Amino acid sequence: MTLARRKNEPTVDAINLALGVFLFLAPWIFAFSSDAARQNAWYMGTLIAFVAFTEIGDFAEWAEWVNLTIGAWVMGSAWTLGFYAQTTAMRVHLIVGFVVVVSTTVDLYLVHRSRPQDASTHQRFSNRIE
């Protein structure tokens, strides 16, 4: 479903794009010692950045849901993949995943909150209450 573009949309996409690039570069910046942490950062960083980049041109609700899912995975991946003992890699994944989830959730909330109500549906509902 395509919705009208909002003012804050490019900002959220730019944040997610930057987070994806940062997550991709994090294994080199912080010298991750875990292969699982490195590979997860590379793959998930690439996916987050790609989805955000594809959405910069035109809003697509499916892309928000994909990034929300990826962000949730990134948050929990340290425990799922077993690199929670490497504190730096765990913290990077947790923080990046959290920010992606929060920014995407806020964006989805604003989309669904700003949808115009169907007057006929509202009228039918209020008639049932009376």
pLDDT 10s digits, 19-77: 999 999 999 999 999 999 999 999 999 999 999 998 887 778 899 999 999 999 999 99
In this structure, the number of other CB atoms found within 10 A of the CB of residue 90 comes to 18
In whole angstroms, give the CA distance from residue 112 to residue 103: 14
Amino acid residing at 110: L
The per-residue pLDDT for 112 is 82
What span, in angstroms and rounded, lies between the C-alpha atoms of 67 and 52?
A: 8
pLDDT over threshold 90, residue 10: no
Report the C-alpha gap between 81 and 93 in whole angstroms.
12
> Amino acid letter at 92?
V
Q: How confident is the model at residue 103 (pLDDT cuts 50, 70, 90)?
A: very high
Is the distance from CB of 41 to CB of 24 less than 8 angstroms?
yes
